[in-house]
Amino acid sequence: MSEPPAQLAALVKAIAAELGFERSGIAAAGPIPRGDFFRRWLANGHAGTMGYLHRHADSRVDVRAWLPWARSVIVVALNYRQAAPAKPDDEPRGRVAMYAWGEDYHVVMREKLHKMVERLRVDSPVADAATPPRFQICVDTSAIIERELAMAAGVGWIGKNTMAIDPEIGSYFFLGEIITDLELQPDAPAVDHCGSCTRCLEACPTQAFPAPYAMDASRCISYLTIEHRSAIDPALAEKTGDWIYGCDVCQDVCPHNHRAPEAAELRFAGSPAAEVSGGVTPADSAFPGLSVIEAWDDAAYRRSVTGKASDRATLAMWQRNAANARENLTDL
């Protein structure tokens, strides 16, 4: 059974809203607008040691290089913004980026996206088609560029700090995609609302932005604390402050985040992921004690990061970051 692209698109967005996604949009499968920029970015070494970004570069530029049957890309956004808890004591503590305080977003997003696909398979007219439609769920780990697709789908423009930004919910949101062979009416691309503001560029402690809308990831604190496996250049390490997993500086200063609502999804709030000596509080999720991390053995590390996005960094990296933070706090 054939269904008009506009009607199917409306159904997709209705389902997305019912599942709690704050934003949804649709892009036609095809080349991203800034494909040449991405290839130059790689060639200039701005990916640092993230060699995986060089692999499957063609699919990052055009999803059809990976999935030739793709016709549409559904993009959804789920807010994770929340107020920071108060630090529980005066002990030396590091800071963790907000996205990693609660449960692993990969799990939460995939759960919701699978529900979307189930609804489309069962409840929509396409369920009656002679050939069932195809769907591919993506959350962060696939060889696509989510922010470019989000901009193309009207979900958020790419800001000067290279984050996807929505004028109402800001930039503290996760992105997820469903690639499908359904023909869905695409949305207009997102419109840039950064204007003349340069707060994010000026606030970056490591000067990771060589130009507006361009990041040198090899200088970014998030890259240095999460992706970079070896010792951090001392000249950069001294600028990472007390950040031990990720960084929110360029988002914290963005005016669009100052009036953004807090997340409705409670699983993203700081909470104990597992039993650790003395228990884990929401404040510990946001501001872990450096002495606790320095004392971790492999078992304690595993208990602490299980079920959270913070398992991306190894035990050695967490302890490296804690040592840098302690030195930086001592120098204050």
Catalytic positions are 140
Q: Give the residue carrying structure tokens 């890309």.
A: 73
| Helices within the chain (DSSP H only) | 5-18, 35-43, 57-61, 105-122, 146-152, 199-203, 221-222, 234-237, 249-252, 255-258, 282-286, 290-294, 298-305, 315-330
Q: Give the residue carrying structure tokens 């290839």.
A: 39
Q: List beta partners, residue 179.
A: 73, 136
Q: Taking the CA of residue 291 as centre, how many other CA atoms within 13 Å lie in the half-sphere pointing to its CB? A: 5
Query: Would you say 209 and 158 are in contact if contact means Cβ atoms under 8 Å apart?
Result: no
Burial class (CB in 10 A: 0-12, 13-18, 19+), 285: buried
How far lies 270's CA from each of 142, 223, 231, 293, 294, in Å? 26, 22, 28, 17, 21
Distance, in Å, from the CA atom of 145 to the CA atom of 32, rounded to the nearest integer, reads: 9
